[in-house]
Amino acid sequence: MQLAELKSRLIDLAAATDMRFEATKDEEAAIQDLAGEVEKLNPTPDPAKRADLLDGRWRLLYSSFRLTREASLARLSFGKLPAVTVRVEGIFQEVRTAGGDYNNLVHFSHGDLKGVQVTRGRFSPADGTRLSVAFHGADARPEDRGMPMPRFAAALGTSPDRLDAPLEAPGLWSDVVYLDDRLRLMRGAYKNLYVLVRDAAAPVSF
């Protein structure tokens, strides 16, 4: 099977699982198998050093990490934000190599309220494949940038000062095992697989 067909099948199947929330065991196994085949055909040498391909906003299609649809801001932020129950609506990653930014974003809902939780990190290439990552902060804010933070915080049942916190999560890493202008496959320190596609929208976290 050619790379283009393998990629198409992987992307379609990963997208159909809704970030893995709707995945069956058979679909999870198929995604792992397809990812392994795509990884073998990586067209990009030293992908961890390719700023031209890494930079931008990426949408997570699938992750073997055991995140649940119903979560909390605390769980999404290494326990740094309040334990407000939220529903995960979308997961993104925004990379800017010029500043070393490596931010994970969760778009969430809380009733009718829409928000974005950002876990802010910095990265540097450890070698041609591996990215060394240290997370240093977590915050949450309204998806509608025109909404005042006090009103947003009140709707969550908390205060603005509790929605921005420093954190220390050093010593993490993630391997870029496939990279082109549309698709990125990552394998993390805990052996989780991440399937991401480039998002057309501009980054919002920096």
For residue range 26-68, list pLDDT tens digits in order: 999 999 999 999 999 999 999 999 999 999 999 999 999 988 9
pLDDT of residue 96: 97
The string of pLDDT tens digits covering residues 107-161 is 999 999 999 999 999 999 999 999 999 999 999 999 999 999 999 999 999 999 9
Q: Which residues contact 12 (CB under 8 A, 6 or more apart)?
A: none
d(CA 190, CA 173): 9
* Residue 169, pLDDT above cutoff 90: no
Tell me the residue length of the chain: 206
Q: Is 4 exposed, middle or buried (0-12, 13-18, 19+ CB in 10 A)?
A: exposed
Please provide residue 185's backbone torsions phi and psi, each rounded to the nearest 5 degrees.
-115, 130
Q: Which residues contact 8 (CB under 8 A, 6 or more apart)?
A: none
Say what the pLDDT of residue 1 is. 82
Contact criterion met (CB below 8 Å) for 70 and 81: no
Q: Report the candidate in 137, 141, 138 with the shortest Cα–Cα distance to residue 115.
A: 141
Q: Looking at residue 5, what is its pLDDT?
A: 98
User: At a CB cut-off of 8 Å and minimum separation 6, what does 22 contact?
Assistant: 16
Confidence of residue 76 (pLDDT cuts 50, 70, 90): very high
Q: What percent of the chain has pLDDT over 70?
A: 100
Calpha distance 21→188 (Å, rounded): 19
pLDDT digits (tens, 9 = 90+) for 85-101: 999 999 999 999 999 99
